[in-house]
């Protein structure tokens, strides 16, 4: 089976096997697990994964680890073709998931909340307006 690439505004509720859906606006991609278990996989783009269209076929990097399903599948998609890697053990899956959560928590802690960003943007604009009016 080859995985096709489909650009969508929003990820559909029902996914087709063999299609990588990519919402550029929301920076998400979604697909069904390549093993056939029909587990829904959502990828954060560009935070965790990159997704490309190669002549209508999908390429996804880095590898996709299905850590939250019984199959524990692990694979690449390159030019629409599945390249299988060894499945994760339960211990490996838990370790990888904890590392991902810690990485996201650390990056979220660094980013100022929306109110601070709004305040900074507003005060910056006011300073520019004052400078223009002072001329």
Domain boundaries, the chain: 1-88, 89-135
Q: How large is the average pLDDT for residues 2-6?
A: 96
For 64-116, what is each residue's pLDDT tens digit? 999 888 999 999 999 999 999 998 888 888 888 888 778 777 766 666 677 77
Q: Which are the contacts of 135, defined by CB distance < 8 A and separation ≥ 6? A: none
Q: Which residues contact 121 (CB under 8 A, 6 or more apart)?
A: none
pLDDT tens per residue across span 44-68:
887 778 999 999 999 999 999 998 8
Strand 19-23 to strand 4-7: parallel, antiparallel, or no bridges (unpaired)? parallel
Write down the pLDDT at residue 35.
Answer: 94
33: exposed, middle or buried (Cβ count in 10 Å: 0-12, 13-18, 19+): middle
Q: How much is the pLDDT for 107?
A: 67
* Tens-place pLDDT, residues 6-44: 999 999 999 999 999 999 989 999 999 999 999 999 998
């Amino acid at each position: 089976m080859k995985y096709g690439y489909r650009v969508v505004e929003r990820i559909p509720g029902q996914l087709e096997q063999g299609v990588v859906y990519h919402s550029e606006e929301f920076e998400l991609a979604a697909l069904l697990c390549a093993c056939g278990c029909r587990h829904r996989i959502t990828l954060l783009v560009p935070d965790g994964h990159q997704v490309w269209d190669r002549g209508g076929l999908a390429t996804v990097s880095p590898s996709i680890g299905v850590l939250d399903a019984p199959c524990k599948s692990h694979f690449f998609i390159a030019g629409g073709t599945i390249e299988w890697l060894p499945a994760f053990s339960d211990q490996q899956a838990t370790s990888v998931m904890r590392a991902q959560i810690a990485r996201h928590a650390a990056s979220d802690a660094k980013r100022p909340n929306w109110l601070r960003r709004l305040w900074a943007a507003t005060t910056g604009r006011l300073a520019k307006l004052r400078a223009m009016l002072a001329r």
